[in-house]
Homo-oligomer: A and B are copies of this chain.
């Protein structure tokens, strides 16, 4: 296999000049650059990225931390991050943290030792102290982790409010909520958006709120309790689509017809919401777009001389599907 010395010899330059051409830094005149590039091509020379990363302190690898890739929201995010990284010639390490801060710390240390260039982090457990250990750029995705860290999120509170307004607009008069975990900012914001719309209603009671932990089985149980104890509920805003699937399952087991007896709206807009029967109306995040934007922001910070803290919030969009389609005869199951 050809080495940098072979390239230098063939191009009749020093290895330092070859290195300047490879790394695109320092002045090399056009004619010399062409000669070096031809020598590289002729010898089929592959620069060793490990040696380059030792020299430059960069590995062209970024990491994505997600709680669990088997939660169907995260594969769509991961795909977007990987596509953009790949387009920019970065590789992408995936870490499942289970929202366990000890695991997060082990990963942070191991990957910094491997000279990973930056981190995109979905986390509810990482602390300010953990963040201080990170010497490379970080972008928080989906959940804000600190005001000192760049972030890409969606407008959860406003989106949740719009979900409840939509249920009202199709005639729901007793609207309940299945919430996500209290320690996750997106879940708290969505719950707040629900409260904004219902707290002043005469029918509202805190008993209409149940905890589903962003989990299919937990949400199914919560829905069975809620719908058994409060048969007057005619609309349900569910904190995410995965829990929405649990609610549809609960309704089927209780013999409750959706949307005739109960209209259901989720949040996220993952593929699952389209695949299930009846299909689930949802407040869709631009999932691919936010994943891509986080990767773009991170690589900008890695390559920029003066990176700034940036925060971007995307809007969510109503996707009308069968689970709220109460028009006469419209629902042909």
A15 in contact (CB, < 8 A): no
14 A–B contacts, CB within 8 A, in A order:
A48-B115, A49-B115, A50-B54, A50-B59, A61-B114, A63-B91, A91-B93, A91-B95, A91-B110, A91-B114, A92-B95, A216-B271, A249-B275, A272-B272
Copies of this chain, whole number? 2
Q: Known contacts A91-B110, A255-B333, A275-B249; decide if A70 and B59 are in contact (CB<8 Å).
A: no
A199 to B96, CA, bound (A): 46
Does residue A72 face the partner (Cβ distance < 8 Å to B)? Answer: yes
Q: Determine, out of A77-85, A175-183, A230-238, the stretch whose residues face the partner at the interface.
A: A77-85
CA distance A72 to B72 in the complex (A): 8
- Count A-side interface residues using an 8 Å CB cutoff: 54
Instruction: List A109-168 residues whose CB lies under 8 Å from chain B.
Output: 109-115
Chain B residue contacts of A245, Cβ below 8 A = 275-276
Residue interface mask A55-94, B partner, CB < 8 A = 1: 0000111010000111010111011001100100101111
A51 on interface, CB distance cutoff 8 Å: yes
Contact at A49–B113, with CB atoms within 8 Å? Answer: yes
CB of A202 within 8 Å of the partner chain: no
The residues of B that contact A70 with a CB separation of less than 8 Å are 75-76, 79, 271
Minimum C-beta distance from A74 to chain B (A): 7
